[in-house]
Amino acid sequence: MNRQLKLLEYALAGLTRRKGKNVALLLVYAFTIAALGSVLFLTDALRSEARQTLDHAPEMVVQRISAGRHELIPRSYATTIAQLPGVRQATPRVWGYYYDALVRANFTLMGVTEPETQIKDLQGQLPAADNECAVGIGIADIFGATIGDSLVLVDAHGKNRVFAISGIFSAHSALLTHDLILMPEPALRAFFNLDPTVATDIAVSIANPREITTLAKKVRYHLPDTRPISRSEILHTYDSIFNWRSGMMFAVSVAALIAFCILAWDKATGISADEKREIGILKAVGWNTGDVMAIKFWEGLILSLSAFLIGTIAAWLHVFVLGAPALTPILKGWSVLFPPFSLQPVTDPYQILVLAFLTIAPYLACTLIPAWKTAVTAPEQAMRS
Amino acid sequence: MILHPGILALLGGSLLSVLLLIKASGLGLTILLRWDGTSSSEQQLALEHKTWLISSLLNAGLGFQIVSGVLFLATVEAIHPLFVGAMCATGTLNANLVGWLVLLVKGLLFFAAALWVIFNRLDQRSEDAPLLRPKYLALLLITPLAFLDLTLQYSFFSGLHPDIITSCCGSLFSEQGQSVLSELAALPPVTAMALFFPVIAIYYVLTLCCLRSQNALLRYLLFITVIVAFFIALAAIISFISLYLYQMPSHHCPFDLLQAHYNYIGYPLYAGLFGGTLFGLLPGLAAPLQHHPSLSAHIDQLDRHWLWISLIGMTVFLAIALWPMLFAPFTLLRSG
Amino acid sequence: MWRARLYLTATLCGILTLTALLMTGQQPNDSADKQQLVAAFGLTDLALFSEARYTRHPSQADLFTAFQDSPGAIDHFPSGSLVVPIPGSRTRSITVLKGER
């Protein structure tokens, strides 16, 4: 124990003597880890956000598929579904998209029926009259609007319609409501010029979650042109999306990791004359190869542990405090309305394990051989050079 | 499926350790062919230097193997939500049965690599390195095992097909019939207990005897007992220890223990069992080496260490296993 | 030995900070409000990418929505390359029934 402590002391002294080189290495290493860590943390937080909030999504959504495309569904389907035993309620819903030429962004418009409970994340009120709407914070921001202002949207007939903003969703819920415009269902039907006998899809509420699969089969049996989507499938989708996404970004970053390993290899191979003499002296005073390799091992461990801690903490701050500014442009794509990340700092220890394994292992592996080459230098040869 | 970060890390790590091992066995082969302990030629000196590189490569390789074993379990656990019907790691492993083979190979690799590193340490302490040949021959066996691990792992992960919502028109529902099994068959708890407790008792008696006596026979007995106890303990985990830990009479999964929901209790549990087993094997393995004069003093000294570590490991395992049996309100078997 | 002590202390501090950071997220969360919102309006997706309907509502889209215009069309939205979960998915688009004529 004491021996290891002394070796650590010696390794630290050695590292501080070659300050410039090691600090540069440490910074590059920490930066690589921070970049990889940010990707992991961000996608993991998004995934857990989706998993937590969408856990309350409708048990089943039934769409109609016509000619392979999502088609408006007759409201009579809702009656058929509601009659299946086990179904608590089948609600036809109306929602759609709206492209605003002025701000060049897509909005999601949703019809609300009768709001039952007080929504805590809403400032103001849900739309009550046909010329009112509630909007997400993204829409309020892009128009610079507040409660009481009016929103002008062009309806299906090409006419301008004015909606008074009765409520704005808080920034807290931006990840769900950022581009949302809610209006009373009749108003939305009139806006989209929808036939009263159709709906966009049907949200089905099912009492016993174990029956969802059976009911989905029954829906498919009775209404063969539909596509039921269960809640677990929604959650699956988000799991897969974010696994795939972080994997993609990871695969891209592996190049950076390899580049870093080459740098580390190079730094470890090119030892200075001073360092060589130092090892020569150590061996001359009786250190054996094993001791020198232990020193080298400690040096590697100190560097990678410090870099890992710095990098991970930096990644955490970057994602959860600063809102991942460096990753947003990559994620954003062509979205005009992109929600700010106010994510819950949920990090699975598993992510840390993955990050540690992926970054520390290659570094240690690629410094092994250079360390050995240094350690076996013969003393007289080292001192003579 | 390959693009999951955990899977990338696992495959990368395995590839890395295979590369390290290939390098090491290449060096090992030259040493096996050219080694001459009595010579003091320059070539011999270079070979001696190379032994240091080999042991350092192997140390790193072993470290990666241990971490990647843990990471494999954690990854299999983490991706189970992607499979319909999978409740935990068992579901993922059942989704592509190669997974069980990977687990087996990883277990074997853990023991093989750990034994190699420990005996290498022992050998390096002596002056004349009497274990040199068996050591490097063993190395030539570990390398293919690591390669097998890599290929099996690849075929496991590439063979996993997650059920994604985008599968058209409810094809998911029609495939429910093939959804994965979630439970393992288990021994009846009473049988498992009748096997488990006596074996553990024998283990404790033997270990304590070994601590008092130098008898080689006791160590051989301990070696056999530890192997038997290891498998019985694994069966016992599935059969009744898990039931007590989950406080549920029908939940047999040996992997749910590793979930955050159960405070990761499985990690110390398995670490105790694997550590206890590994170090319990050592005295029996080292006993026949006593006749090497250069090793016997070192073995005597290490023997006690090994026995104590084994004892501590097993006790940690046992304490975690027994704790809920003794103190939790859950009762599986009604007495009287 | 001051260097070793200093280093060990600093590393310990780093580990503790990291653990503390990781623990903050494990607390009982404030997502109840959001869950209520989701339940009230029956939301099915995150409002992450609003440029196309299959990126705005990935869970409501089907496998080929990304290729609305023609089956061979390359997806033209940048986030499409990140969103569409193609790998490993079982496509059952074509079923050939043999011997039924």
What are the tens digits of pLDDT across the range A130-150?
889 999 998 998 888 888 889
pLDDT of residue A340: 79
Q: With residue B173 as reference, give the H or E element that holds it.
A: helix B171-174
pLDDT of residue B291: 81
* Mean pLDDT computed over every residue of chain A: 86
**Residues of chain A positioned with their CB less than 8 A from the CB of C9:** none
Q: Report d(CA A180, CA A54) in Å as an integer.
A: 16
Contact check, Cβ <8 Å, B167/C88? no
Residue B230, in any domain of the structure:
yes
- Same structural domain, B133 and B279: no
Q: Which two tokens stand for residue B28?
A: 């090992």
- The pLDDT of residue C96 is above 80: no
Q: Which two tokens stand for residue C74?
A: 């390359």
CB A86 within 8 A of CB A206: yes
Q: Could you give the C-alpha distances from B193 to B200, B235, B325, B329, in angstroms and in order?
A: 10, 10, 12, 19
- Same structural domain, A33 and A93: no
In this structure, the dihedral spanned by the alpha carbons of residues B308, B312, B314 and B317, taken in order and rounded to 10 degrees, is: -170
Q: Domain range spanning residue A73?
A: 59-229
**Pick from A239, A297, A368: CB nearest B82:** A239
- Same structural domain, B216 and B259: yes
The terminus-to-terminus CA distance of chain A in angstroms comes to: 35
Q: Could you say which of A229, A261, A295 is where a domain stops?
A: A229
What percent of chain A lies above the pLDDT cut of 90? 22
How close, in Å, is residue A262 to chain C by CA atoms? Answer: 26
* Mean pLDDT computed over every residue of chain C: 68
**Residues of chain C positioned with their CB less than 8 A from the CB of A91:** 42
Q: Which two tokens stand for residue B273?
A: 């069992």
Q: Which two tokens stand for residue C53?
A: 């309907």
**Interface mutation target, options A133, A244, A320, A321, chain C, most CBs of C under 10 Å:** A244
Q: With residue A92 as reference, give the H or E element that holds it.
A: strand A87-93
User: According to the per-residue pLDDT averaged within each range, which of B195-199, B245-249, B285-289 is highest?
Assistant: B195-199
pLDDT of residue A244: 72
- Same structural domain, A147 and A220: yes
Neighbours of chain B (3+ CB pairs under 8 A): A, C
- Same structural domain, A85 and A163: yes
For A338, phi then psi, to 5°, come to -120, 125
Q: Which two tokens stand for residue B193?
A: 């207990």
How close, in Å, is residue B172 to chain A by CA atoms? Answer: 9
- Same structural domain, A131 and A175: yes
Q: What value does the mean pLDDT take over residues A336-346?
A: 78
- Same structural domain, B36 and B105: yes
Q: What value does the mean pLDDT take over residues A88-107?
A: 88
Return the domain boundaries, chain C.
40-88
pLDDT of residue B79: 82
Contact check, Cβ <8 Å, A346/C4? no
Higher pLDDT, C74 or A288: A288
**Residues of chain C positioned with their CB less than 8 A from the CB of A70:** 60-62, 65
- Same structural domain, B155 and B49: yes
At what angle are helices B42-78 and A349-375 packed, to 10 degrees? Answer: 180
pLDDT, tens digit (0-9, with 9 covering 90-100), for A68-88: 778 899 999 999 999 999 899
Q: What value does the mean pLDDT take over residues B291-305?
A: 84
Contact check, Cβ <8 Å, C47/A121? no
- The pLDDT of residue B321 is above 80: yes
Higher pLDDT, A373 or B271: B271
DSSP string for residues in A163-200: EEEEEEE-GGGHHHHTTEEEEEHHHHHHHHT--TTEES
CB A112 within 8 A of CB A143: no
- Chain A residue at shortest CA distance from C56: A108
CB B282 within 8 A of CB B238: no
- The pLDDT of residue A27 is above 80: yes
- Chain C residue at shortest CA distance from A305: C11
Q: What value does the mean pLDDT take over residues A19-27?
A: 89
How close, in Å, is residue A85 to chain C by CA atoms? Answer: 21
- Same structural domain, B152 and B264: no
In this structure, of A35-44, A113-122, A203-212, A213-222, the range with the lowest mean pLDDT score is: A113-122
Give the position of tokens 């074997």: B108
In this structure, of A206-210, B172-176, B312-316, the range with the lowest mean pLDDT score is: B172-176
Q: What value does the mean pLDDT take over residues B111-123?
A: 89
Half-sphere exposure of residue A140, counting CA atoms within 13 Å on the CB side? 24
DSSP conformational letter for B41 = -
In this structure, the dihedral spanned by the alpha carbons of residues B174, B178, B180 and B184, taken in order and rounded to 10 degrees, is: 140
**Which of B:72-111 have CB within 8 Å of A?**
74-75, 77-79, 81-82, 84
pLDDT of residue B85: 65
Residue B305, in any domain of the structure:
yes
- Same structural domain, A122 and A211: yes
- Same structural domain, B223 and B278: yes
- The pLDDT of residue A183 is above 50: yes
How close, in Å, is residue A246 to chain B by CA atoms? Answer: 7
What percent of chain B lies above the pLDDT cut of 90? 24
CB B90 within 8 A of CB B183: yes
Q: What value does the mean pLDDT take over residues A341-363?
A: 85
Helices (H), chain A: 2-17, 19-53, 76-82, 137-143, 174-177, 185-192, 212-222, 231-269, 273-284, 289-316, 328-332, 349-375, 379-384
Which 3 state secondary structure label does DSSP give A278? helix
Contact check, Cβ <8 Å, A335/C51? yes
pLDDT, tens digit (0-9, with 9 covering 90-100), for B132-159: 888 889 989 899 999 999 999 999 988 8
Residue B172, in any domain of the structure:
no
- Same structural domain, B104 and B208: no
Q: Domain range spanning residue B207?
A: 189-327
Q: Report d(CA C30, CA C28) in Å as an integer.
A: 7
Nearest to A40 by CA among A352, A259, A362: A352
Q: What value does the mean pLDDT take over residues A329-345?
A: 75
Q: What value does the mean pLDDT take over residues A329-342?
A: 74
- Same structural domain, A357 and A319: yes
Higher pLDDT, A327 or B224: B224
- The pLDDT of residue A43 is above 80: yes
pLDDT of residue C87: 39
When divided into structural domains, chain B yields a total of 2
Contact check, Cβ <8 Å, B167/C59? no
Q: What value does the mean pLDDT take over residues A329-356?
A: 79
Q: Report d(CA A249, CA A323) in Å as an integer.
A: 18
Q: Which two tokens stand for residue B164?
A: 């994604």
- The pLDDT of residue B182 is above 70: no
- Same structural domain, A170 and A295: no
- Same structural domain, B73 and B210: no
- Same structural domain, A125 and A31: no
Q: Supply angle C-alpha B324, B326, B330, rounded to 5.
A: 60
- Same structural domain, A203 and A321: no
Helices (H), B175-252: 189-212, 216-236, 242-246
pLDDT, tens digit (0-9, with 9 covering 90-100), for C49-63: 777 777 788 777 765
Higher pLDDT, B168 or A381: A381
